[in-house]
Amino acid sequence: MTDLTTAVNLILAKRDDYDTAQEYYEGAVEEVFASTSVRRALKKTGDHFRLNFAATPVNAVNNRLEIASVSAISEEAGSYLDRAWASNELQLEIAQVHKNALIYGDAYLVLERTENGFQAYYNNPKSVTVLYDEENPRLKRCAAKIWAVAVESTDKPRYKTRVNLYYADRIEKYISRAERLPMRPRDVDFEPYVDQYTDSDGVMRNPLGFIPVYHFRTEHPEGKPEHLLAYGAQDMINKLAITQMAANDFHGFPQRFVLAEAASTEAADFDEDSEDRPSRANNPGEELWYQNVKEVGQFKAADPRTFLEPLKAYIRALATITETPVHYFEPTGNVPSGEALRVAEAPLVKKVRTRQLSFGATWREVFSGILAIGGFKEDVQVHWKAVETFDTKESWEIAYKKIQTGLPFAQTMLEQGYDAALVEMWDAERKAAQEASQRASQGSTQQETTPVQPADTAALDDGSGDGMAKAA
């Protein structure tokens, strides 16, 4: 297959998986029923009661993925990055890229040259993909983007599918021949899309000289939703919650029964609207009499512990398989602290650092591309904020001991989670203060140890020849 059909079929094939990942994150997934009769019964009472815990593994990682700063080699390039950061609201795009990359497993950022420089914007993986070289899976061969466009119509709105293929040297544009694409599109289902920027074959030169589509993924070679392993446990939790809510009606309004006397059919003749039917209300001070009734009673509703105990087990199972600390799911106030907190969060910290490596490599490509648009050809460094939980008494005691044993001050402050630029300024001020203190100390010591020199005898001589005597 050509790159056109390969890319389009790949995008269409992954959409169902992306839709599933989004539904589990948003808590909109349907309950799984083993019995059709139970499904019909719950539809009468409502099946929309859900406790969405599948979003927690995503949010736990996303809340710790924060870029502190981006630095370039030269000062001029660094200033250009600072201006680009402020003018394009890259912080908002970064947050959107990280969150959606964790939800879907993949996310894309597209760079575009503009009159004022460039524009960077997030793209949903349901409409964008990147094809990699078969021999070198890290080398991008091309990228593709598809979307629906309205076409002129006299009777009703009509839409066709547009496709752009991005290569390092060119951009190819296509449009579908029909409104609906077949199950497996082929090249014959598309035709070149010609506009003012392309030639007659729908091809235009790529002014950037590189593929301006960047692929963020949680794993290599293919990304996976951060909460993928939570799907099964979330289904179990949904079933328990929905079933308990259905059973909860019977706690407030229990089912009652009346047993008739033997050989009596009067009780069977009662219907819902009969005036002869005995009242079921039991008001204070009132006695109820039933004719031809042997016994009355009510059915016992399901014990809530039948649902709550398995619910706790499934929540803990979800926390274990997603490597998310249990206290993220049970905020009871008994949150561990100190060393216990670091041990509990160790798997999460390791997972976040893995995401930093993957996302950070792509962000370096993005910012290098931004510098290339500005005319700079140099590498950049992405600095992340600290992953671990800080600002505890134990952490500062450890930090103090690190400095006392000779660990650099700047490194210790970076580990404490402070911004790299701020730490650099503090370190420079600290070193300047130490040098000034050393100079002052050396000057004081030198003044104390320097012997007093004899006075200049020539200066004391008043011309009378008694200068030496006066000095003496």
- The Cα-based distances of 147 to 5, 124, 129, 140, 305 in angstroms read 15, 11, 12, 21, 50
3-state SS class at 27: coil
- Would you say residue 89 has pLDDT above 80? no
Q: Which residue has the tokens 């296509």?
A: 174
Residue 287's pLDDT is 52
Residue 30's pLDDT is 76
pLDDT tens figures, 91-100 = 888 999 999 9
Q: What is the percent of the chain with per-residue pLDDT over 70, rounded to a whole number?
A: 74
pLDDT tens figures, 376-430 = 988 898 888 878 765 567 677 888 888 888 888 887 877 776 766 678 788 888 8
Residue 144's pLDDT is 97
- The Cα-based distances of 428 to 78, 437, 441 in angstroms read 19, 14, 20
CA angle 139, 140, 144 (to 5 degrees): 165
Mean pLDDT throughout 51-77? 90
Both structure tokens of 289 = 């009499």
- The Cα-based distances of 283 to 69, 180, 280 in angstroms read 72, 67, 10
Both structure tokens of 162 = 């547009």
- Give the DSSP H/E element, type plus range, for residue 395: helix 393-404
CB atoms within 10 A of CB 104: 26
Mean pLDDT throughout 253-279? 57
- The Cα-based distances of 7 to 12, 130, 238 in angstroms read 9, 8, 36
Residue 310's pLDDT is 83
Residue 87's pLDDT is 73
Q: Which amino acid is at 391?
A: D
Beta-bridged to residue 217, according to DSSP, are 106
pLDDT tens figures, 301-338 = 667 677 778 888 888 899 999 999 988 887 555 667 76
Residue 401's pLDDT is 87
Contact between residue 168 and residue 206 where contact means Cβ atoms under 8 Å apart: yes
pLDDT tens figures, 237-262 = 888 877 766 666 666 666 666 777 66
pTM comes to 0.75
- In angstroms, the CA 76 to CA 64 distance is 30
When mean pLDDT is compared over 153-157, 207-211, 288-292, 400-404, the highest value belongs to 207-211
- Within 8 A by CB and 6+ apart from 279, the residues are 288
Q: Which residue has the tokens 């950061």?
A: 85
